[in-house]
Amino acid sequence: MSSDISKKLTVDWPKNMSYDISDQRTADYVSERVGVVTKRGSIFYKKRLLDVFLFAMAKGKQKGLRTPLTKKSNSMPTDALKEEEIWLMSSIALSEKNSDLDILTKPEEIIKICEEYANTGVKDLIAIDFSTSISDPLEPYEKLMEDNLEKLTR
């Protein structure tokens, strides 16, 4: 897929995407200063908040639950998205709207769908991280991946 198509697709996208920071635990978790991206041993250590967002979005999509945002962070610039991330988000929106291509002309709706899935999924990531043993903080993520791979190979 050409990056020209991606540029056309995102030309009207909002400047930023958000986490819901109405809950202090979530706000702390996704903080660039003290959040999960700063924690040694975390799967997200030294990653972008966008990486956490995409993982949370996938987790929320897997659950099939969207949770509306009440206080937006506006902390993640959409122009930092890589081409494959744009297509991933667009695909999530398409799947939500039963492959109605008209959704691709509604950037606010694409972002809203993805934010709401991420808002659901980030709660699961927080639960995983706070239930993790100190000896191996990556173990729950490895188990999550193994379980998902097992489902795919059935």
* Whole-number Å distance between alpha carbons of 117 and 121: 6
- Name the nearest CA neighbour of 13 among 114, 84, 86, 108: 108
What confidence tens digit (pLDDT) does each residue in 28-68 have?
999 999 999 999 888 899 999 999 999 999 999 999 999 99
What DSSP character marks residue 12? T
SS3 103: helix
What DSSP character marks residue 57? H
What confidence tens digit (pLDDT) does each residue in 130-147 have?
775 656 766 777 777 777
Greatest distance between any 2 Cα atoms in the chain: 48
* The model's pTM: 0.86
